[in-house]
Amino acid sequence: MLILLPPSESKTPAVRGSAVDWPSLSFPELNACRAKVLDALGTVSAHEDALALLGVGASLKDDVDRNTRLHAEPAAPAHRIYSGVLYDALGYKTLTAAQRRKADASVLVVSALWGVIRFGDSVPAYRLSMGTALPDVGRLASFWKPQLTGALAGAVEGQLLVDCRSSTYAAAWAPPAAQTVAVNVLTEVNGVRKVVSHFAKHTRGELARHLLVRRGKVPATPSELLKATREVWAAELVEGSARKPHALNIVLPG
């Protein structure tokens, strides 16, 4: 089983430490593409209109300034850099040593800058969204899609993929539909269901944690994932097709 996560918009910069060690990153075949994106991001971030070009507000100026120094910025494991609602709910710090090893092996973070990394990969904090277009790179989802398809082919073979990504990051890679389950979070009030956003992030983080800490057999099929999910939540499985992944709908009370 592999759990696919989006990065968090908010990140916690490393205070000290070495810069990113490129050869140590997972999927090193992506390093040339990573370097191209990083260089383009640095150029854009140094522009006088950087905030507008990156689609962020003035409160994030320090984050954008940091983008110009990413080759030298201190790096830390991804599970420390990424913060926010989903990652708080996952709670990596509170996992046991065995559960952390499981998380390091099972979690893949799809990133606008790095393409895809594992939890143990050390990277600097950065500010970049998958929906951004960069000079000489183009829209990042389109740039990464063929690269990730090739790089991840071996890693995902025979694995159940629990897809907790947002639509922005799902656009960067379409995993094999037959072995993929996209996680949706809904609320239901008086029989009427609505898609939620903030609670979706929190619940996806909780689901990832549940799958990492629960005892017993690791889910290997969509039906086994549904059974594991129902240990905590009301949920249903919508069967996929040859081109459309399965959908796991977690239904929260309104």
pLDDT band at 10 (very low <50, low <70, confident <90, very high): confident
Q: H/E/C letters for each residue in the chain? A: CEEEECCCCCECCCCCCCCCCHHHCCCHHHHHHHHHHHHHHHHHHCCCCHHHHHCCCHHHHHHHHHHHHCCCCCCEEHHHHECCHHHHHHCHHHCCHHHHHHHHHHEEEEECCCEEEECCCEECCCCCCCCCEECCCEEHHHHHHHHHHHHHHHHHCCCCEEECCCHHHHCCCCCCHHHEEEEEEEEEECCEEEECCHHHHHHHHHHHHHHHHCCCCCCCCHHHHHHHHCCCCEEEEECCCCCCCEEEEEEEEC
What pLDDT sits at residue 254?
75
Predicted TM-score (pTM) of the model is 0.95
**76-120 pLDDT, tens digit each:** 999 999 999 999 999 999 999 999 999 999 999 999 999 999 999
